[in-house]
Structure 1
Amino acid sequence: MIETRLLRQFIAVAEELNFRRAAERLHMAQPPLSQAIIRLEDLLGYPVFERSNRKVSLTPAGTAFLSTARGVLAALDEGVAETRRVAQGSAGHLRLGFIQITPYAHVLAALRQFRSDAPAVHLSLREASTQELVDALEAGELDIGIVRAPGRSTPALAFERLSGEAIMAALPATHRLAGQASVALAALKDDDFVASPRALGQGFHDQLTGLCLHAGFVPDVAQQARRLQTVIGLVAAGFGVALLPASLAMSLPHGAVMLPLITDAPLSLRQLDLYMAWNARQVSPVRERLLAQLRASAVSN
């Protein structure tokens, strides 16, 4: 194998076409440099320089090898620089999964800043349910997930809270209570409910059920939908009422209203939290960089 040291010595002589100047440039004595070039020629099996008492010049083979040597060293230097960028979290590949994040300005701001600070990082994005994202994190298929509480044991994963928001009642605009400023949850005990399946978000589903149980009833779920935007769409179409995060009130479809809940339930039931989650058994500098950005954007409430 030809060492990179030999390549650098060859390039110096090829550019200077003078062994003395090349040796000075390399901060070494001339005899060892001459021996290094002889060794390189032995390894290659052909001469790279024509030498005389008056001048040094490249052979045709040496001219061809000069291009190769420069390319090898440039590729190596770029590889070392890329390795440093990856180790510093400013380059690499990051796989991010999330439930709907459009309403969460602080998360969007963190992603925008991250992309600005680390443009060399390739981001792969995936939108899915909390359960699907948790499964992907546990399987090592994602680096970070923006999720709700999973509602089950996840020993491999770490969670940090990003923000919290109130749970509100979503009603059809024609509902008997739609004109009120707020609604007592117990007043909805006889209504049909629209909800997402428990299999897609056990923690969210169980929290809403617990909130209703605290109000004295078990919700009668008449319709289900995978996405919360579809849930509120079904509410607007008159299929029932729903309990949803307050952020959805920013983009209500025609035919639906959202009202604050009147309930004496504990905060753990009436507030819905958003978390960032990651697999603590894996190491990723670029992941740590985005986690720090999200952590800085977290909302205290």
Structure 2
Amino acid sequence: MELRQLTYFLAAAETENFIRAAELCSVAQSNLSRQIAALEAELKTVLFRRVNRRVTLTPAGREFAVHARAALERLQQGQQFVSKLEAGEGGLVRLGCVQPLSTTFLPQILARFAGSYPAVKLQVRIGRTDELLRLVESGELDFALVFNPGTRSELLVVEELFRQSLQLVVSDRHPFCQLDPASLALKQVLNEPLVLLDESSRLRRIVERVLAQRGFVVEPVFEVNSVEVLKELVRQGAGVSIMPPISMRASQGQDGLALLPITDLAEEFIFALVYRNFGATPLAARELINTFVSQATRHNLD
């Protein structure tokens, strides 16, 4: 299917006359007719009823016209967006991000995007998954990076970025670091003082659920509402924590933290990108969404 075929088809649909449509498109009428016939052959359906010199859309043709107009409008918007970027103009992208990704996965991609599109303004809101889902649904955010959304809302599209299991976070001076990595079990972990996010965190609720399924009760020594505070407490030896590895990527091996696998904790949880299912997503936001999806596909984040 070619762009010119869509253009010819829509011109004929508008004028209901192949000769007039050819004049509008500055092509020979025979060429326009051939291209529309080729389009019908590709779609395996008749788009026009031909009566003498007049043509009218069939039911299939009317339905296809809706999608063809939308496709051309989207293409025109894309051309305008690129032209604005080249002219030094840009749009505004409002995105949300959960804390575990805010200091690891997010900054490197935003920096790369800003380098490619310096005229695009970025507004970033760090929050919890439930809050960010509400903000995307209401249109206050263009999209968000969230943890294990589990949403079935018809208002939202959920694109999985990657999956990770939970691991143990300890100070790099902790005795667990000397153990065989394949020998650390959950029962041993729970003999240590726990540092966890507070109960408003989706990650905390998941940790509680996973442990309850194994007959354990969560009794943290510290409850905090900040991933960075959690890291610092663990770094200082105040306790251990259970987190997805992506939360620690920027810290591991650099500032006194270590990640250790837990042999009997194999479940994987989703990090996803969510945006509205209805209404037009701004083109600058769409470009950044594509950047996140392509980077998540390209790199093995496990």
The alignment's TM-score, normalised by the length of structure 2, stands at 0.59
Q: Deviations over 1:26-65 (max 9, x none)?
A: xxxxxxxxxxxxxxxxxxxxxxxxxxxxxxxxxxxxxxxx
Question: Which range is displaced more, 182-191 or 109-118?
Answer: 109-118
Residue aligning to 2:185: 184
Is 2:199 aligned against 1:198?
Answer: yes
Q: What's the C-alpha RMSD, in Å, of the aligned pairs?
A: 3.2
Q: Deviations over 1:127-160 (max 9, x none)?
A: 2232332232122111111121235554422211
Q: How far 1:260 sits from its partner (Å)?
A: 1.5
C-alpha spacing 1:250/1:288, structure 2 compared with 1 (3 Å): closer
C-alpha spacing 1:175/1:118, structure 2 compared with 1 (3 Å): closer
Identity of aligned residues (%): 21
Question: Which range is displaced more, 145-154 or 94-103?
Answer: 145-154
Q: Is the 8 A contact 2:145 2:274 kept in 1?
A: yes
Q: Is the 8 A contact 1:181 1:259 kept in 2?
A: no
- Counterpart-to-counterpart distance in 2, 1:297 and 1:173: 29
C-alpha spacing 1:178/1:132, structure 2 compared with 1 (3 Å): same
Residue aligning to 1:279: 276
Letter paired with 1:292 = N
SS at 1:297 equivalent = helix
C-alpha spacing 1:137/1:192, structure 2 compared with 1 (3 Å): same
- Counterpart-to-counterpart distance in 2, 1:184 and 1:108: 33
Q: Is the 8 A contact 1:189 1:218 kept in 2?
A: no
Residue aligning to 2:58: none
SS at 1:198 equivalent = coil
- Counterpart-to-counterpart distance in 2, 1:249 and 1:113: 18
- Counterpart-to-counterpart distance in 2, 1:146 and 1:178: 31
Q: Is the 8 A contact 1:193 1:242 kept in 2?
A: yes
Letter paired with 1:85 = Q
Is 2:291 aligned against 1:293?
Answer: yes
The gaps in structure 2 that reach 5 residues or longer are: 1-75
SS at 2:170 equivalent = strand
- Counterpart-to-counterpart distance in 1, 2:286 and 2:250: 31
Q: Give the alignment of 1:33-182 within 5 angstroms.
A: 85-86=80-81, 91-99=90-98, 100-104=101-105, 108=107, 110-151=109-150, 154-172=153-171, 175-182=174-181
Q: Which has the larger radius of gyration?
A: 1
- Counterpart-to-counterpart distance in 1, 2:218 and 2:150: 19
Q: How far 1:95 sits from its partner (Å)?
A: 0.6
Q: How far 1:164 sits from its partner (Å)?
A: 2.7
Q: How far 1:234 sits from its partner (Å)?
A: 1.5
Question: Which range is displaced more, 249-258 or 126-135?
Answer: 249-258
Q: Is the 8 A contact 1:88 1:286 kept in 2?
A: no
SS at 1:240 equivalent = coil
Is 2:239 aligned against 1:243?
Answer: no
Q: Deviations over 1:161-201 (max 9, x none)?
A: 122334211234565534213321122233332111232x3
- Counterpart-to-counterpart distance in 1, 2:284 and 2:249: 34
Letter paired with 2:295 = S
Letter paired with 2:296 = A
Count of residue pairs the alignment pairs up: 213
Q: Is the 8 A contact 2:102 2:126 kept in 1?
A: no
Q: Is the 8 A contact 1:110 1:294 kept in 2?
A: yes
C-alpha spacing 1:237/1:140, structure 2 compared with 1 (3 Å): same
- Counterpart-to-counterpart distance in 2, 1:238 and 1:109: 29
Letter paired with 1:243 = I
- Counterpart-to-counterpart distance in 1, 2:112 and 2:241: 35
Q: How far 1:108 sits from its partner (Å)?
A: 4.7
Q: How far 1:251 sits from its partner (Å)?
A: 0.9
- Counterpart-to-counterpart distance in 2, 1:234 and 1:181: 24
SS at 2:191 equivalent = coil
Q: Is the 8 A contact 2:137 2:276 kept in 1?
A: yes
Q: How far 1:250 sits from its partner (Å)?
A: 4.2
Runs of 4+ with deviation above 6 angstroms: 81-84
- Counterpart-to-counterpart distance in 1, 2:171 and 2:110: 35
SS at 2:130 equivalent = helix
